[in-house]
Amino acid sequence: MLDASGSVSSVLLRDPANQPVESPEYPPELARLPPGRHGLPREFVSHNQRERLIAGLAEAVAENGYAGTTIAHITRNAAVSRRTFYEHFGSKDECFIAAYDTVMAELRERVEEAFGQEEEWPQAVRAGIRAMLEFLAAEPHLARLSMVEALVAGPVVVERYDAAIQSLVPYFAAGREGLSKEVLAGLSPTTEEALVGGMVSLISRRIFADRTEELESLLPDLVEFTLTPYLGSTEAAKVARAS
Amino acid sequence: MARHQRVRIIAALAQESSEQGYQQVTVADIVSRAGIARNTFYENFRSKEDCFLATQEYAMTAALERVVAAAGELGNWADRVCAGLTAFLEYVVEEPALARTCMVEALSAGPAAVERYERSQQAFVSLFKLGRDVSPHGGQLPETLEEAIVGGVFWIVYQRLAVGEVAAIPALLPELTEFALTPYLGAEPAREAAARASGNLRSKPGA
């Protein structure tokens, strides 16, 4: 098991020790099921197995890269049988897609929450970018899975990757509201796409180079870059440098 | 003869990669597409990856030559950026398979390919950095600005290549130029420079 497997597991397994689960059907003691017969309701076991397979894939990909990961790696990490793997997924690719979707759902949730907590749009953007950078920096294996390994995991994943980046556009498009005609004239249909593409390019580069410790220091530059077309450079810089 | 063959194989790899994704392409696909013998492939390249890297180098060199030729002579930095972007977009439209190979497939073709992709962006980063000298507030611009601008421009072009909307690319020139110039010059001067560039594009024969 990897040193970082704890952090991989806590995001992908909703570790009951850190995040209490409300449902009475999901008691914490059963988070790690022993193999074999245990008489538990089928759906419960099934859901838990699926999560463990996803976490198992993430650990395997972190260790071996996407190409080097085998189903044996995954099932060993997840402590389930090969047969169980195939009950949930048709292939390694499918399992990867599920892992990718899980990571992205988590990231999306954090960004959405941080963004939504701010009243003013510029501060909301800052909070959202910060949440994204914090997550990626705290989970370097998941960052790598979703931004580096995703690109070699087949066209279905690449499509999701592209869509995920484009899904950031509305956060910035919201900044057009209330702007003067003059400022709006300086924006184009592709402004948000370019801003998002530029931002992700900076982030992705550092993840590719295994320099995730640098991610959080990008915050001021990213905030200034993305807010400038809407607020002007002076105002954008002020928001960027705020503590 | 050898050089012709090499270029033919490169073109074949670019086409196959564009159509089915680099991961799926086999040497058999390439030789079939190029209409050559398997031996001939291995006389020119050690492997599929070797061929891919050569394809990238070939396309990057060709594109850069055009950008430098277009931008190099002009005195005004904004005009150089416009001319450079124009030349870049023109290359992408003329050679969509090669452009797609470099910009889309490269990221899934291993670390050496990614390194080359990075290098291709670097050429533009250097061109944009010169804008700090002509900008009224060059000293206050964020350190990663050029990286972000180039990343943004590449992302927009990549998106269109990925979905096969190559014909839509030239129309993006004015807004991409404005996007690139505005942080240095302000919105009005950027727009004027972009309009000048579009004017040049329109006045070209056959445009």
Q: What is the pLDDT of residue A43?
A: 65
Q: Are B110 and B48 in contact (CB under 8 A)?
A: no
* pLDDT over 70 (residue A28): no
Q: What is the pLDDT of residue A25?
A: 45
In this complex, do A233 and B114 lie within 8 Å of one another by their Cβ atoms? no
CA angle A143, A77, A157 (to 5 degrees): 40
Q: Are residues A138 and A229 in the same domain?
A: yes
Query: Which residues 162-221 on chain A approach chain B with CB closer than 8 angstroms?
Result: 162, 165-166, 183, 185-186, 188-191, 193-202, 205, 208, 218, 220-221
Nearest to A188 among B142, B162, B175 (CB): B175
Instruction: Report the gap between the CA of B110 and the closest CA in chain A (Å).
Output: 9
CATH of the domain at A121: 1.10.357
The pLDDT-based confidence of B1 (bands split at 50, 70, 90) is: low
Mean pLDDT check: name the lowest of A18-27, A139-148, A186-195, B181-190: A18-27
Q: What is the pLDDT of residue A210?
A: 93
Q: What is the pLDDT of residue B99?
A: 94
Nearest to B183 among A166, A193, A228 (CB): A228
Nearest to A202 among B107, B151, B182 (CB): B151
Q: Which residues in chain A touch residue B23, judged by CB atoms under 8 angstroms apart?
A: 152, 154
Q: Are residues A71 and A121 in the same domain?
A: no
Query: What element of type H or E holds A226?
Result: helix A219-231
Q: What is the pLDDT of residue B118?
A: 87
Query: CB contacts < 8 Å between A and B, how many?
Result: 98
Q: How many CB atoms lie within 10 A of CB A97?
A: 20
Q: Are residues A65 and A122 in the same domain?
A: no
User: pLDDT tens across B33-42, in order?
Assistant: 999 999 999 9
Q: Which residues in chain B touch residue A221, judged by CB atoms under 8 angstroms apart?
A: 142-145, 148
Mean pLDDT for A8-22 is: 54
> What's the alpha-carbon Rg for chain A, to the nearest Å?
20
The pLDDT-based confidence of A79 (bands split at 50, 70, 90) is: very high
Distance from C-alpha of A110 to C-alpha of B19, rounded to nearest angstrom: 37
Q: What is the pLDDT of residue B6?
A: 95
Q: Are residues A179 and A113 in the same domain?
A: yes
Q: Which residues in chain A touch residue B114, judged by CB atoms under 8 angstroms apart?
A: 208
Which of A90, A116, A135 is the endpoint of a domain?
A: A90
Q: What is the pLDDT of residue B174?
A: 93
The pLDDT-based confidence of B196 (bands split at 50, 70, 90) is: confident
Structure tokens given for B55: 């394809």
Residue for token pair 């960004």:
A111
The pLDDT-based confidence of B207 (bands split at 50, 70, 90) is: very low
* pLDDT over 90 (residue A1): no
Structure tokens given for A4: 């970082």
Q: Are residues A109 and A86 in the same domain?
A: no
- Mean model confidence pLDDT for chain A: 87
Q: What is the pLDDT of residue A9?
A: 55
Q: Are residues A119 and A72 in the same domain?
A: no
Q: Are B22 and B108 in contact (CB under 8 A)?
A: yes
Structure tokens given for B177: 């130029």
Q: What is the dihedral of CA A77, A82, A85, A89, to 10 degrees?
A: 130
Q: What is the dihedral of CA A190, B190, B77, B75, to 10 degrees?
A: 130
Q: Which amino acid is at B183?
A: P
The CB-side HSE value for B26 (13 A sphere, CA atoms) comes to: 4
Q: What domain range is B116 assigned to?
A: 48-202
* pLDDT over 80 (residue A161): yes
Q: Are residues A24 and A123 in the same domain?
A: no
Q: What is the model's pTM?
A: 0.87
Mean pLDDT for B51-71 is: 94
Complex-level ipTM: 0.90
Q: Are B184 and B149 in contact (CB under 8 A)?
A: no
Q: Which residues in chain B touch residue A201, judged by CB atoms under 8 angstroms apart?
A: 147-148, 150-152, 154-155
Instruction: Report the gap between the CA of B27 and the closest CA in chain A (Å).
Output: 19
Mean pLDDT for B132-151 is: 94
The DSSP 8-state label assigned to residue A40 in this structure reads -
Q: Are residues A121 and A219 in the same domain?
A: yes
Q: What is the pLDDT of residue A65?
A: 93
Classify residue B33: in a domain, yes or no: no
Residues 6 or more apart whose CB falls under 8 angstroms from that of B18 comprise B96, B97, B100, B101, B104, B105
In this complex, do A198 and B147 lie within 8 Å of one another by their Cβ atoms? yes
User: pLDDT tens across A210-228, in order?
Assistant: 999 999 999 999 999 999 9
In this complex, do B143 and A151 lie within 8 Å of one another by their Cβ atoms? no
Which of A90, A108, A132 is the endpoint of a domain?
A: A90
Distance from C-alpha of A144 to C-alpha of A206, rounded to nearest angstrom: 10
CATH of the domain at B193: 1.10.357.10
* pLDDT over 50 (residue A174): yes
Q: Are residues A74 and A106 in the same domain?
A: no
The pLDDT-based confidence of A12 (bands split at 50, 70, 90) is: confident
Query: What element of type H or E holds B78?
Result: helix B77-94
Query: What element of type H or E holds A116?
Result: helix A92-116
In this predicted model, which residue has the larger pLDDT, B3 or B146? B146
- pLDDT above 90 covers what percent of chain B? 69
Residues 6 or more apart whose CB falls under 8 angstroms from that of A56 comprise A73, A74, A75, A76, A77, A78, A80
Mean pLDDT for A27-46 is: 56
Q: Are residues A230 and A166 in the same domain?
A: yes
Burial level of B13, CB count in 10 A (0-12/13-18/19+)? buried
Q: What is the pLDDT of residue A38?
A: 55
Mean pLDDT for B60-68 is: 93
Distance from C-alpha of A121 to C-alpha of B181, rounded to nearest angstrom: 25
Q: Which residues in chain B touch residue A208, judged by CB atoms under 8 angstroms apart?
A: 114
Q: B147 touching A, CB under 8 A?
A: yes
Of A55, A60, A37, the C-alpha closest to A102 is A55
Count of structural domains, chain A: 2
Count of structural domains, chain B: 1
Q: What domain range is A49 assigned to?
A: 5-90
In this complex, do A195 and B182 lie within 8 Å of one another by their Cβ atoms? no
Which of A67, A90, A113 is the endpoint of a domain?
A: A90
Residues 6 or more apart whose CB falls under 8 angstroms from that of B80 comprise B71, B72, B74, B127, B130
Q: Are residues A80 and A164 in the same domain?
A: no
- Mean model confidence pLDDT for chain B: 90
